[in-house]
Amino acid sequence: MVTEAASRPPHNLPGLDPRFSRIASVPGSGLDAGLTREWHYLDNGDELARLGLPIAGTILAVHGNPTWSYYWRELLTQSVQAAEAGAAAAAAAGDASGAAAPAWRIIAVDQLDMGFSERTGIHRPLAQRVADLTAFTDALSLDGPVISLGHDWGGVVSLGWAVDHPAQLSGVMLLNTAVHHETGKPIPAPLRLARARGMLAASTVRTTAFLETTLALTSEPLDPAVKDAYRAPYRTSARRGGIGGFVADIPVDADHESYSELDRIATAVAELDLPALMLWGPRDPIFSDYYLDDLIGRLPHANVHRFEGAGHLVAEDVPYADSVLTWLGDNAASLADPGSASPSPREAIAAASASTDSDDSSFVPLWRNLDERADDTTTAVIDMSTRGQRGPQQVSWRQLSDRVSQIAAGLTAIGVKKGQRVSLLVPPGPTLTAVVYACLRIGAIIVVADAGLGVKGLTRAVRGSWPDFIIGEAPGLTAARTLGWPGVRISTAQLPKVSAAALGVSYSLRDLITLGANTSLPAEPRAEDDAAILFTSGSTGPAKGVVYRHGQLSALRDVLARHFEVTADTGLVTGFAPFALLGPALGTRSVTPAMDVSSPRTLTARAVAAAVEASGGSMVFLSPASILNVVATSGDLTAHDRSELERVHTFLSTGAPIGAELLASAATIMPNATPHSPYGMTECLLVTDITLDGIRAAAGGTHTGVCVGKPIGENLIRISALDSDGAATGTPSTEPGILGEIIVSAPHLKDHYDRLWLTDRAAARETAIDTDAANAADPADATTAPDAPSARWHRTGDVGHLDELGRLWVEGRLPHVIVTATGPIAPVGAEQDVEGVAAVRRAAVVGVGPHKLRQAVAVVETISPTRKPGLADPELTAAIRASTTLPLVAVLAVPQLPTDIRHNSKIDRTRLSEWAERLLAGGKPTAP
Amino acid sequence: MIVLITGASGFLGRAVAAEAVAAGHDVRTLQRRPSGVDGVTDFLGSITDADDVATAMEGVEGVIHLAAKVSLAGDPHAFHAVNVEGTQLVLAAAEAAGVSRFVQVSSPSVAHSGSALAGVGAEPASPEHARSEYARTKAQAELLALASDSDRMHVVAIRPHLVWGPGDTQLVGRIVDRARRGRLPLLNGGTALIDTTYVDNAASGIVAALHRADIAHGKAYVLTNGEPRPVADILAGICLASGVQPPRWSIPAAVGRTAGSLVERVWAVRPGADEPPMTRFLAEQLSTAHWFDQRDIREALDWSPAVSIDEGLRRLARHER
């Protein structure tokens, strides 16, 4: 290999401030003992010193292969900008002490043989690279706390440095990297290819193939000028030797020279008890979620954010520098003083699941009834759905209890452990019910995503949650096989050997029962253990995994039981899966009516009546989409059906709020039932509740929006007012009549989002609400437990207001708020006004024009549908304008409003707004 | 204040003059025909005649310069003579007479390049991108006026957008006439959002600019009702108020533009008595959005429109009956 001294990068590289460029002479170590090596690196320390800002710590950033310190340019720049802004803010606040937010010095090295550092001509295995980095920091006499930061193979090198400097290290940050590879598992295909005999030098050194392939690993193509900047230090094959060296140094198996060093680092990382951050681009053919999952296992306390859609060069795809600086700020105290955190990060997560201060006596696990009724031969679950071709399937409490125990033992026998994730690709029915309770019982975390997400959404959900096991039927398992979903595959049905082999299925449920015959069950999980990951519908961006602990699921069951007075005799008829699953936990019989459970619109009125008759149920749960069809088919009901339906005393519409009319027409077929329309979301399934009478009482007043009633049980609601920018910045309050983001607290609120640290942070932003003070002023909350100040709060992303009676009015989604020149306007109120016009069937109010200058437009579906999309006729326009106080710049009529397929009832306002924008700019009148 | 208003015999000029009189100013006007406005002193003459301008300017403190050749097509030299050279004369005379406030009444078309404008502010006038002789020369005039802004003479440019109202022969008259003859197509269904200005609002805004020149000077502002509407809504509103059937037929915008530029060329060779039925400029005006950010002007002039579009249409209907 060729040698060459260090040099400076060209001055005109986009985003790189040349003032940060440095060259240092470093006495070598290891293979370089006695030699001096020249390093090129970026350092914003002098710039911070020039500004006179105190430095809290140093970030030691290590690039991967084949990038260079340019990868971190944005962090250097933003760190200086943030420090300047902080100093300016402190000065403006008259803070004479100059106690600005601490500044972070960023040092980003070009590893030897890489970037603009020296070309040494010596092969540098991992141990040497770790020693090199130590030599570099020694030469710089780097003092004060250091947080390591690494990407790709730089992640490994940075962690090597980290574990070797325990006294100085105060935290670790990682972007797409890996420290461990299971022996025997093939390494990722692109690397196999690059390392193939005869290919290595050709792909990495003689040609730019490896470099160019890496530069293509972004979600959007890189700016050509940025690509060129990455190529700058690697113009000639002589300068690319390091790229080949790195690829050759990948420890593919235990015989590799760097294997033991990697193993040493991986083992030591699992002992680090310091704040950790991982930012991940999952669209990475090399450092996939497999490695993220491994790292989370080693650093379970880490803050992790997966940027859905981002690729290997995650720093080019997402505003990572923002995230890094946010995290540094959040953890400033313990990062500035290594090891000062008390409890330490590992102690903190251990404490969270050690239940020392929680009141375990109130925790009744979901499976308790199954234990207690193990000898009860009465019916627990009935499945009348069209899937059971042999007529309704009935399962007694004893059968269910036995089945759950058997599956739980079987899962234990094949090695499923507490905290491991089990993805369930099983449609609702008795099998799903049994599998769910078996997993919960042994502490395995169930991962549930609605098939409505579609294959793409499901793939994201399954890969994102990285399950250890998948339990499914043939279609789900086929998808798992074809799409390469992770997890040991378990089939609900006994498959022929050939099919099982083809689907990569390791076990069937029957196998599990056999295998578990002599296995005793592990200790029960506790209230603080994770229980479930439920995926959101994905109607507001990529579906998110919502993590519930056992205590929170039990709280959900308890609030449902208390609020709706569910007893053992109630009997639930439910076409809505989450509540169907709660039947056994509630200790009452549950029945799924005849329907295609994946398509709520297939439920008929007669099927509901038959389910009521079969179960003796008196409580009916229906989703909004199924209510439409139940009402539409109510004419088919016989006199006998109708008399059965008289038995129902409670009816719940579970999903998006529906209008009083639809609720009332559903109620007419259940004349003795009180109709309820609770409000909730995946993150908090029951927030408020309102009855049909309540809806009618609320109508006709001056309030805008959908009245969803008062908080259920101990739930608390606050409103964070919208500012003139449309952002929810107001201090959360119960003041009536203020439009803002709805914030909720409930015992059954989700714990957190899975691997979405930034989303978690945003959902809990500024929700340190002093409930004691609020309670003093608000007798309605007097029942709140005394420890309420520590209540967990969640920003729902919904907007609305409270009224004088404490009722909540929902007025739309935060992203659908129209920010006009005179302030933010939520769409739902005006939509209701417009829907009051006789000729209008459905309406959406959306904004057009620039932010803070948006104009409201009504888009309507008329009773007699228009043929072509375009302006409504003048008479209708005038009537619609007159119906609302919101100034409407235009009224558009369309044959059909675009409806979000994931929610049959939700209009896709985002798409509609973009369409209206085009049309009203003078575009061709296409369909929305 | 002694105020000179040029072009006060036009539709907007009369309204501005009346508004200035109502505000208590001593108002003079300069144009070839009598203004017909009560309470003003008419100086009859041309703004292209230095003597006429100097005479009218004597002792004046504030100027509202409205006089212009307004037309969709025609001889380029005639536009230049009135709109550019005439403005130069008026500016020079105003400076010479020690005028302290000068309102240049301009047009949003001075910065309209033909693309859709949604919620924009007043972009700099740009003669090189103008889409008609009128727009080109008005852009030059505005640049000249703003270049004359100084501590001694505060210059504000106001660009009222599509002014309409009772007695308007320019916009309302043509729309009604063409609709009556079935020569008013909608382009792309007439969905483009446009801002318009009811005449009383334009007049009160322009007089407000004179009052607030000390604060607002050195800049151009687009002035509108702040109520964007689809073109078809506006046309229908004006037609219905005038008792005419609104346009029902729509042609694709591209066809309209092509037809417009074709007709424009034919018209240039054989000018008729009336405007051409469709010019490229008009086709663009009728098929692309152009509505504006009104926050700046309302703050700078401490002014807001008093008459809504709906109220304006009611007044128009009353007037037409």
Output the pLDDT for position A753.
Answer: 96
pLDDT digits (tens, 9 = 90+) for A88-104: 877 777 655 545 567 89
Residue with tokens 């041309």: B46
Query: Is the per-residue pLDDT at B27 higher than 90?
Result: yes
Contact B213, B103 (CB under 8 A): yes
Share of chain B above pLDDT 90, in %: 59
Q: How far is B119 from chain A (nearest CA, A)?
A: 6
User: Is the model's pLDDT at A611 over the cut of 70?
Assistant: yes
Q: Is the pLDDT of residue A784 over 50?
A: no
**Residue A821: pLDDT over 60:** yes
SS3 of residue A186 by DSSP:
coil
Residue B8 has pLDDT above 70, yes or no: yes
| % of chain A with per-residue pLDDT over 90 | 65
- 8 A C-beta contact, residue A527 and residue A548: no
Contact (CB<8Å) A917/B291: no
Instruction: Annotate A652-665 with three-state secondary structure.
Output: EECCCCCCHHHHHH
Compute the distance between CA of residue A103 and CA of residue A131 in angstroms, rounded to an integer: 28
The 10 Å CB-count burial string (b at 16+, else e) for B151-188 is: eebbbbbbbbbbbbbbebebbbebbbebbeeeebbbbb
Give A364-384 pLDDT, tens digit per residue: 999 999 999 999 999 999 988
- Tell me what pLDDT residue A783 has: 41
The count of C-alpha atoms lying within 13 angstroms of the C-alpha of A541, restricted to the half-sphere facing its C-beta, is 10
Beta strands in chain B (DSSP E): 2-6, 26-31, 41-44, 62-65, 101-105, 117-120, 154-160, 163-164, 186-187, 193-194, 197-198, 220-223, 229-230, 250-251, 290-292
Q: Provide the shortest C-alpha distance from residue A885 to chain B (in Å).
A: 14
DSSP character string of A787-805: TGGG---EEEEEEEEE-TT
**Whole-number pLDDT of residue A222:** 94
Nearest CA in chain B to A919: B191
Task: List strand residue ranges (DSSP E) for A90-145, in order.
Answer: 103-109
Q: Are A737 and A680 in contact (CB under 8 A)?
A: no
In this prediction, residue A778 has a pLDDT band, given cuts at 50, 70 and 90, of very low
Mutation target vs A (from B191, B235, B240, B299; most A CBs, 10 A cutoff): B191
pLDDT digits (tens, 9 = 90+) for A622-679: 888 788 899 999 999 999 999 999 999 999 998 777 778 888 998 899 999 999 999 9
One-letter amino acid of B277: P
Please report the number of interchain residue pairs, chain A to chain B, with beta-carbon separation below 8 angstroms: 79
Residue A727 CB burial class (10 angstroms; 0-12, 13-18, ≥19):
middle
Cβ–Cβ under 8 Å, residues B175 and B235? yes
Q: Please tell me whether the peptide bond between B108 and the residue prior to it is cis, using omega within 30 degrees of 0.
A: no
Pick from A478-492, A622-636, A742-756 the range whose average pLDDT is largest: A742-756
Bridge partners (DSSP) listed for residue A573: A591, A620
Q: Across residues B281-304, what is the average pLDDT?
A: 86
pLDDT at B278 over 90: no
The partner residue sitting opposite A849, judged by closest CB among B119, B237, B240, is: B119
Query: Which residue on chain B is closest to A869 by alpha carbon?
Result: B189
Of A100-109, A576-585, A768-777, A797-806, least confident by mean pLDDT is A768-777
Stretch among A150-154, A200-204, A394-398 having the lowest mean pLDDT: A200-204
Residue of B nearest to A922 (CA): B192
The one-character DSSP state at B2 is E
pLDDT greater than 70 at residue B253? no
Residues of B with active-site annotation: 134
- The answer, yes or no, to whether residue B320 has pLDDT greater than 80, is no
Residue A624 is predicted with a pLDDT of 81
Other Cβ atoms closer than 10 A to A102: 18
| Side chain identity, residue A605 | A
pLDDT of residue B273: 43
- Residue A285 DSSP class: S
pLDDT in tens, A231-278: 999 999 999 999 999 988 988 888 889 999 999 999 999 999 999 999
Contact (CB, 8 A) for A731 and A720: yes
Report the predicted TM-score, pTM, of the whole model to 2 decimal places: 0.87
B-chain CB neighbours of A850 within 8 Å are 118-120, 293
B301 vs B293: CA distance, rounded Å = 14
pLDDT of the residue at B21: 97
Residue A278's nearest CA partner among A137, A171, A191 is: A171
| Position B63 pLDDT exceeds 60 | yes
Q: Cβ–Cβ of B293/A853 closer than 8 Å?
A: yes
Strands (E), A384-522: 393-396, 421-425, 445-448, 469-472, 488-491, 505-508
Closest by Cα among A371, A365, A746, A713 to A554: A365
Kindly list the residues of chain A whose beta carbon comes within 8 Å of any beta carbon in chain B. 821, 848-850, 853-855, 870-871, 874, 877, 887, 889-890, 892, 917, 919-925
pLDDT of residue A788: 45
For residue B293, the distance in angstroms to the closest alpha carbon of chain A comes to 7
Set of chain A residues whose Cβ sits within 8 Å of the Cβ of B123:
none
Tokens of A615: 């179960």
Residue by residue, DSSP assigns B175-205 as HHHHHHTT--PEEGGG--EE--EEHHHHHHH
Tokens of B317: 């209907």
Instruction: Spell out which residues of chain A touch residue B253, defining contact as CB-CB under 8 Å.
Output: 922, 924
Which chain A residue shows the shortest CA-CA distance from B289?
A921
Task: Please tell me which residue of chain B has the smallest CA distance to A923.
Answer: B188
**Minimum distance, in Å, between the CA of residue B38 and any CA atom of chain A:** 37
Residues of B in contact with A921 (CB under 8 A): 116, 118, 192-193, 288-289
Chain B residue with minimum CA distance to A881:
B310
pLDDT tens by residue, A675-732: 999 999 999 999 999 999 999 999 878 888 889 999 999 999 999 999 999 999 999 9
Kindly list the residues from chain A whose CB atom is less than 8 angstroms away from the CB atom of residue B187.
922
Amino acid at A587: G
- Closest chain B C-alpha to A849 CA, distance in angstroms: 6
The chain B residues in contact with chain A (CB within 8 A) are 116, 118-120, 187-193, 227-230, 232-233, 236-237, 240, 246, 252-253, 287-289, 291, 293-295
Q: How confident is the model at residue B276 (pLDDT cuts 50, 70, 90)?
A: low
Query: With contact defined as beta carbons under 8 Å apart, do A754 and A545 qualify?
Result: yes
Phi first, then psi: what are they for B286, rounded to 5°? -90, 0
- Which of chain A's residues have a Cβ under 8 Å away from the Cβ of B191? 870-871, 890, 892, 919-920, 922-923, 925
For A249-261, write each residue's pLDDT tens digit: 988 888 889 999 9
Which has the higher per-residue pLDDT, A561 or B248? A561
Residue among A832, A920, A818 nearest A870 (CA): A920
Q: What percent of chain A has pLDDT over 70?
A: 93
Q: Which of B193, B222, B240, B290 is best to mutate for the A interface (most A CBs within 10 A)?
A: B193
Residues listed for chain A:
928
| The pLDDT of residue A315 is above 50 | yes
Residue A819 is predicted with a pLDDT of: 96
Residue A392 has pLDDT above 90, yes or no: no
| Whole-number pLDDT of residue B268 | 47
ipTM for this model: 0.85
Determine the pLDDT at residue B259.
56
Residue A330 CA to residue A275 CA, distance in Å, equals 10
- Comparing CB atoms, the residue among A853, A854, A922 nearest residue B116 is A922
- Indicate the residue of A889, A892, A919 with minimum beta-carbon distance to B229: A889
DSSP-derived 3-state class of residue A624 = helix
State pLDDT tens for residues A440-454. Answer: 999 999 999 877 677
Predicted pLDDT of residue A169: 96
3-state secondary structure A315-345: HHHCCHHHHHHHHHHHCHHHHHCCCCCCCCH
Q: How far apart are the C-alpha atoms of B43 and B33, rounded to whole Å?
A: 9
pLDDT tops 80 at residue A73: yes
Task: Give the pLDDT of residue A646.
Answer: 95
Reading the block at residue A610, the tokens are 């038959």
Distances (CA, A) of A123 to A3, A120, A129: 12, 8, 10
